């Protein structure tokens, strides 16, 4: 795109010529004059890049002495859902020049019939536009009262949206400080003041009606919000009226002024001042310089003065006067009207360029200005108007292309599909401005698929929509907070959980009725670092199992392992068949590792419910995880394994220990850190173990030494002690589980259940209309559709909102950015409660150890395993923070386990062998 001429606006065969052609028969002087308005493709791309750079600099908060754009947050965090309803009052000031408009807007939602707003326009006297600020706002308050007097308002309170279309520094939805007047206004005492407060003061002085100013909105934001809802989200507003501006929905984390990392926020670019730093120098004409010099604000709003409707007519007038002075128009004669600023208006330009009636209107309009037309003057005047307006449309397109490029890059989309709401009299009245804009945008931003939608009265309906959206978001926020309040646990509540668990631990250790079984594991010591040798480990916990060779040496632990599968016919067959298959796999592993004939100590991690009677004795209580091998339940699984070894002649295996995976986790970390005396699993399920004083364990002989206790804490609360913390969502998950009323603590903490809790909350919020526009989806009704891994992904700090949306959309959930934020908040509340409850449990354990040993301060480490703990971005830090608050006299370090079920089982065996050798010595 080397050059972009005014193809879309010119008539006649001149449109097909290079650049800005001379109309047939025109003089070279006309041609040279209009050549100044030609903008090349390279120049437009440079403007696009320059504006984009200025936008990004302003977003980062990097200011310059002459800011090109301001990038002001409008504090509008959501676009309409289509559910907004109610009556709203709108005051519109500055959108239509020297007038003020009051509207009564009734919103009926996307399903309801559209009700035309009632409105009244009031002309603002010149002395009010240039007088004291209080005079202007008192005038506005009187207009509001006069308008409402004609409506059956009564004494009810009304919500008002304030459309204030001037550059402002907004610090809240209802707080906005005027930066500078534009559009011919120069009221004193207003710049630097909060215009919402000035309006509220004026309404109070008037005293006639109860009006709550909910939002201050500029016309550009109103234009975006007033766009009719279609298939595409309307997230850009573009106004070319008296002045010009654009706004769009930016990722909040990119707006330095907000210090916010969630959601999106509407940013008003305030691009009318672009070029005030000289960036537009190459495309400025002598007429632009003259217009700027004669304006109320020389040197300011340079971009607006090339595009805005307030200036297009004046530019045309200056060109016509210049050509008349050169003698190539109107026979070289000029009338007083042609020499008067403001004599040529946007309406005149639009009428002149009308494709069918333009030529006739030229003669009438110019005669009204006291001018006589020559034979070629009509066509020449049309060409002047076309040149000025074509350039305006192309410059506007370059600026819009910068916005679209920004959106495409920040959202990392290969093709951006978006709707742009357009508003303002230039769009409404000029016959070809939009078509030239569209054509140029396609050339400058080919990766963006843009649809342009005229805004439905952005200054009125759009501002009412902002007000309605604010009301909806406030109501939804209230319902969300009420729903999530039970999940936000106080320190006092957590301390109660800690105390209850401590009490249940003591009862369980004594053999009294308790929801904690406190099972002895017969592991009497943790590694001390002196363990040496080769050990086998067998890890059986599912249809795939592992055989491991673990070499424990001075330089550390080395592991060699192989995974074997168990066919379904074996898991569902006889117990003998199952254990024979396991031994066959062990023999295969020994042969591959060159261990045939060697009798190595073996640790057996058996991840099924067992009652342990000794280090090498474990009675299977019941099969889980799809296993149903016969003649195993109620049997000692170590004996079943030894019998299978005997059946396989010439094989010698020394089964030393049967190990719980939680104990294996503690032992695995204990080898690296001798202070590790607690094991914690937070994965699909949850459990904990710790080293208890042997004297406190009922039924085990001995008063000295230690014993590792398998707490089986997933069952904590099965006696009803967690009832005050349980929500209706927990109850729904429990009732739908395979073991209602059991494992209540686990169902509030572990990965198997958190996704289901979230799903039930989402269903509830959808039924309230807070999420997904109140539309229930079949996918969300499906049990277990919301996996716990989604919590980890959705809560990731590095995940942009669009990626959160993608995760949820893959689940078939039709959501908005607001929905994505709320879903993230639900996930955060559920996972935070889980982590805090887990922390309360750990605090109870470490405090028990500290008090057992009569210590003022305890230094201890906790070995942890489990996908929830390891994969969730915040779970581990929340657990640690909770422990620190509830157990301030314990210095607790959390260590992530490496292969607790494999390496840990081998280390349990190694410690047992070490203790056995010491006993013999």
15, pLDDT greater than 50: no
Tokens matching residue 340: 């008067």
60 classed as catalytic: no
pLDDT for residue 650: 63
pLDDT for residue 809: 78
Helix, strand or coil for residue 297? coil
d(CA 349, CA 271): 24
330, pLDDT greater than 50: yes
d(CA 533, CA 914): 10
pLDDT for residue 302: 95
| Of the candidate ranges 323-332, 417-426, 454-463, the one whose mean pLDDT is the lowest | 454-463
| Of the candidate ranges 15-24, 294-303, 571-580, 842-851, the one whose mean pLDDT is the lowest | 15-24
> What radius of gyration do the chain's Cα atoms show?
38
> Residue 493 — very low, low, confident or very high, per pLDDT cuts 50/70/90?
very high
Helix residue ranges, H only, 648-727: 661-672
Contact 404, 441 (CB under 8 A): yes
pLDDT greater at residue 60 or residue 808: 60
Contact 117, 105 (CB under 8 A): yes
Helix, strand or coil for residue 888? coil
Give ∠ CA 192-194-196 in degrees, rounded to 5.
Answer: 150
Taking Cα atoms as reference points, which of 140, 46, 158, 73 lies closest to residue 102?
Answer: 140
Residue that has been written with the tokens 């999420």 in this structure: 771
Question: If you ran DSSP here, which 8-state letter would residue 696 be given?
Answer: G
pLDDT for residue 684: 85
d(CA 92, CA 143): 11
pLDDT greater at residue 567 or residue 919: 567
| Of the candidate ranges 522-536, 684-698, 738-752, 838-852, the one whose mean pLDDT is the lowest | 522-536
Distance of alpha carbon 601 from its chain centroid, rounded? 53
Contact 99, 121 (CB under 8 A): yes
> Residue 124 — very low, low, confident or very high, per pLDDT cuts 50/70/90?
very high
Contact 55, 69 (CB under 8 A): yes
The mean pLDDT of 199-224, rounded to a whole number, is 90
> Residue 857 — very low, low, confident or very high, per pLDDT cuts 50/70/90?
very high
Contact 109, 206 (CB under 8 A): no
228, pLDDT greater than 80: no
335 to 365, 377, 382, 816: CA distances (angstroms): 13, 15, 19, 59
Question: If you ran DSSP here, which 8-state letter would residue 274 be given?
Answer: T
Taking Cα atoms as reference points, which of 704, 708, 665, 707 lies closest to residue 686?
Answer: 665
* Number of DSSP helices (H) and strands (E) in the chain, helices first: 30, 28
Contact 577, 644 (CB under 8 A): no
Question: If you ran DSSP here, which 8-state letter would residue 116 be given?
Answer: P
Taking Cα atoms as reference points, which of 904, 878, 811, 885 lies closest to residue 846?
Answer: 885
pLDDT for residue 516: 94
d(CA 314, CA 161): 33
Tokens matching residue 135: 């005079």
Contact 211, 203 (CB under 8 A): yes
d(CA 356, CA 325): 29
Contact 666, 678 (CB under 8 A): yes
pLDDT, one tens digit per residue, over 450-471 is 999 998 776 688 889 899 888 8
Of the candidates 292, 661, 718, 730, the residue annotated as catalytic is: 661
Taking Cα atoms as reference points, which of 136, 231, 248 lies closest to residue 193?
Answer: 136
770, pLDDT greater than 50: yes
712, pLDDT greater than 80: yes
| Of the candidate ranges 219-228, 413-422, 456-465, 624-633, the one whose mean pLDDT is the lowest | 456-465
> Residue 17 — very low, low, confident or very high, per pLDDT cuts 50/70/90?
very low
pLDDT for residue 598: 82
Q: Which residues contact 513 (CB under 8 A, 6 or more apart)?
A: 507, 719
Q: What are phi and psi of 243, to 5 degrees?
A: -115, -165
The mean pLDDT of 173-190, rounded to a whole number, is 91
pLDDT for residue 376: 86
d(CA 2, CA 44): 10
Task: Pick left, alpha or beta for residue 541 (phi over 0 → left; psi -120 to 50 → alpha; otherwise beta).
Answer: alpha
Tokens matching residue 744: 């209540």
Count other Cβ atoms within 10 Å, centred on residue 73. Answer: 21
Tokens matching residue 534: 């080769």
pLDDT greater at residue 350 or residue 557: 350
pLDDT, one tens digit per residue, over 360-398 is 888 899 888 898 888 889 989 999 999 999 999 999 999
* DSSP string for 8-44: TT--SGGGGSSSSPPPTT--HHHHHHHHTT-EEHHHH
**Dihedral angle sign, alpha carbons of residues 125, 130, 132, 134:** positive
Of the candidates 268, 273, 515, 607, the residue annotated as catalytic is: 607
Count other Cβ atoms within 10 Å, centred on residue 517. Answer: 14
pLDDT, one tens digit per residue, over 242-287 is 889 999 999 888 888 887 767 789 999 999 999 998 999 999 999 9
607 classed as catalytic: yes
Contact 323, 379 (CB under 8 A): no
Q: What percent of the chain lies above the pLDDT cut of 90?
A: 55
pLDDT for residue 11: 35
What stretch of H or E contains 107?
Answer: strand 99-108
pLDDT, one tens digit per residue, over 551-605 is 888 888 888 999 999 998 998 999 999 999 999 999 999 999 988 878 889 999 8
pLDDT for residue 887: 97
649, pLDDT greater than 60: yes
Contact 483, 765 (CB under 8 A): yes
871, pLDDT greater than 70: yes
Q: What is the mean pLDDT of the chain?
A: 88
**118-123 β-sheet, strand order:** 118-123, 99-108, 85-93, 158-164, 211-217
764, pLDDT greater than 90: yes
Contact 124, 135 (CB under 8 A): no
d(CA 431, CA 411): 34
pLDDT for residue 800: 60
What stretch of H or E contains 612?
Answer: strand 610-614
The mean pLDDT of 501-527, rounded to a whole number, is 92
Contact 813, 822 (CB under 8 A): no
733, pLDDT greater than 60: yes
The mean pLDDT of 496-501, rounded to a whole number, is 97
| Of the candidate ranges 488-497, 504-513, 566-575, 794-803, the one whose mean pLDDT is the lowest | 794-803
706, pLDDT greater than 60: yes
380 CB burial (10 A radius; 0-12, 13-18, 19+) = buried
pLDDT for residue 310: 92
Taking Cα atoms as reference points, which of 799, 800, 793, 824 lies closest to residue 250?
Answer: 800
Of the candidates 391, 425, 546, 805, the residue annotated as catalytic is: 546
The Cα diameter of the chain in Å comes to 126
**Dihedral angle sign, alpha carbons of residues 602, 603, 604, 610:** positive
737 classed as catalytic: no
Q: Which residues contact 466 (CB under 8 A, 6 or more apart)?
A: 76, 161, 215, 217, 221, 222, 225
How many residues make up the chain in this entry?
Answer: 921
pLDDT for residue 488: 97
Q: What are phi and psi of 193, to 5 degrees?
A: -110, 155
Q: What percent of the chain lies above the pLDDT cut of 70?
A: 95
The mean pLDDT of 188-196, rounded to a whole number, is 96
Of 153-157, 454-458, 612-616, 760-764, highest mean pLDDT: 760-764
d(CA 334, CA 371): 7
2, pLDDT greater than 60: no
The mean pLDDT of 436-450, rounded to a whole number, is 95
pLDDT for residue 564: 93
């Amino acid at each position: 795109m080397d050059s972009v001429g005014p193809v879309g606006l010119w008539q006649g065969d001149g449109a097909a010529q290079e650049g800005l052609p001379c109309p047939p028969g025109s003089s070279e002087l006309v041609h040279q004059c209009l050549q100044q308005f030609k903008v090349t493709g390279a120049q437009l791309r440079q403007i696009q890049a320059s504006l984009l750079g200025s936008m990004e600099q302003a977003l980062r908060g990097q200011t310059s002495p002459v800011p090109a754009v301001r990038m002001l947050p409008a504090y509008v965090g959501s676009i309409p859902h289509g559910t907004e309803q109610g009556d709203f009052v709108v005051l519109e000031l500055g959108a239509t020049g020297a007038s003020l408009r009051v509207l009564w807007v009734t919103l009926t939602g996307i399903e309801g019939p559209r009700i035309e707003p009632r409105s009244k326009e009031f002309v603002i006297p010149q002395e009010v536009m240039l007088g004291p600020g209080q005079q202007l706002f008192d005038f506005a308050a009187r207009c509001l009262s006069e308008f409402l007097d004609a409506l059956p308002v009564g004494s009810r309170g009304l919500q008002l949206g304030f459309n204030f279309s001037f550059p402002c520094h907004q610090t809240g939805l209802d707080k906005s400080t005027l930066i500078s007047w534009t559009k011919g206004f120069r009221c004193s005492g207003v710049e630097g003041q909060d215009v919402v407060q000035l309006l509220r003061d004026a309404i109070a002085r008037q005293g006639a009606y109860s009006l709550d100013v909910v939002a201050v909105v500029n016309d550009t934001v109103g234009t975006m919000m007033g766009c009719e809802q279609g298939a595409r989200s309307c997230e850009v507003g573009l106004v070319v009226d008296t002045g010009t501006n654009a706004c769009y929905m930016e990722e909040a984390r990119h707006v330095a002024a907000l210090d916010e990392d969630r959601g999106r926020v509407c940013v008003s670019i305030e691009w009318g001042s672009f070029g005030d730093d000289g960036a537009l120098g190459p495309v400025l004409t002598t007429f632009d310089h003259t217009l700027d010099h004669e304006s109320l604000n020389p040197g300011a709003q340079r971009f607006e003065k090339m595009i805005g409707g307030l200036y297009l007519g004046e530019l045309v007038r200056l060109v016509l006067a210049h050509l008349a002075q050169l003698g190539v128009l109107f026979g070289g004669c000029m009338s007083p009207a042609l020499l008067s600023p403001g004599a040529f208006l946007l309406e005149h330009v639009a009428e002149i360029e009308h494709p069918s009636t333009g030529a006739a209107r030229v003669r009438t309009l110019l005669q009204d200005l006291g001018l006589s037309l020559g034979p070629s003057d009509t066509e020449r005047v049309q060409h002047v108007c076309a040149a000025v307006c074509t350039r305006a449309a192309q410059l506007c397109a370059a600026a819009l292309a910068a916005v679209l490029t920004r959106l495409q890059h920040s959202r990392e989309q290969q093709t951006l599909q978006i709707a742009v709401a357009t508003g303002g009299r230039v769009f409404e009245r000029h016959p070809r401005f939009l078509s030239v804009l569209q054509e140029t945008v396609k050339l400058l931003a080919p990766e963006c698929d843009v649809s342009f939608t005229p805004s439905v009265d952005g200054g009125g309906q759009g501002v009412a929509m902002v007000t309605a959206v604010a009301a909806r978001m406030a109501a939804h926020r209230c319902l969300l907070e009420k729903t999530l309040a039970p999940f936000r646990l106080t320190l006092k509540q957590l301390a109660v959980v800690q105390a209850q668990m401590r009490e249940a631990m003591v009862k369980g250790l004594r053999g009294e009725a308790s929801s904690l079984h406190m099972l002895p594991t017969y592991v009497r010591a943790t590694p001390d670092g002196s363990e040496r040798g080769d050990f086998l480990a067998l890890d059986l916990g599912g249809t795939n199992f592992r055989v491991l060779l673990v070499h424990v040496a001075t330089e550390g632990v080395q592991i060699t392992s192989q995974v074997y599968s168990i066919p379904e016919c074996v898991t569902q067959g006889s117990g003998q068949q199952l254990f024979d298959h396991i031994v066959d796999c062990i023999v295969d592993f020994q042969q591959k590792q060159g261990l045939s004939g060697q009798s190595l100590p073996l640790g057996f991690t058996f991840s099924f419910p067992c009652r342990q009677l000794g280090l090498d004795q474990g009675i299977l209580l019941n099969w889980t995880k799809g296993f149903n091998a016969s003649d195993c339940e109620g049997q000692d699984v170590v004996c079943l394994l030894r019998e299978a070894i005997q059946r396989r002649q010439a094989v010698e295996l020394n089964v030393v220990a049967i190990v719980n995976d939680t104990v294996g986790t503690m032992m695995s970390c204990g080898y690296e850190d001798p202070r590790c005396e607690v094991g914690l699993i937070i994965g699909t399920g949850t459990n904990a173990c710790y080293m208890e004083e042997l004297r406190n364990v009922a039924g085990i002989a001995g008063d000295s030494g230690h014993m590792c206790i398998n707490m089986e804490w997933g069952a904590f609360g099965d006696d009803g002690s967690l009832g005050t913390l349980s929500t209706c969502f927990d109850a729904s998950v429990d009732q739908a589980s395979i073991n209602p009323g059991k494992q209540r603590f686990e169902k509030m903490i572990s990965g198997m259940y958190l996704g289901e809790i979230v799903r039930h909350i989402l269903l509830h919020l959808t039924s309230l209309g807070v999420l997904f526009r109140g539309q229930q989806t079949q996918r969300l009704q499906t049990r277990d559709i919301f996996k716990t891994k989604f919590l980890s992904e959705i809560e990731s700090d590095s995940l942009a909102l669009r990626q959160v949306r993608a995760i949820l959309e893959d689940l078939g959930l039709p959501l908005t950015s607001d929905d994505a934020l709320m879903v993230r908040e639900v996930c955060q509340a559920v996972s935070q409660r889980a982590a805090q409850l887990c922390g309360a449990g750990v605090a109870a354990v470490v405090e028990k150890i500290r008090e057992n040993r009569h210590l003022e301060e305890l230094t201890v480490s906790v070995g942890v395993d489990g996908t929830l703990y390891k994969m969730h971005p915040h779970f581990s830090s929340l657990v640690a923070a909770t422990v620190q608050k509830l157990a301030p006299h314990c210095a607790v370090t959390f260590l992530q386990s490496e292969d607790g079920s494999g390496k840990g089982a081998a280390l349990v065996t190694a410690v047992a062998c070490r203790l056995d050798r010491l006993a013999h010595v």
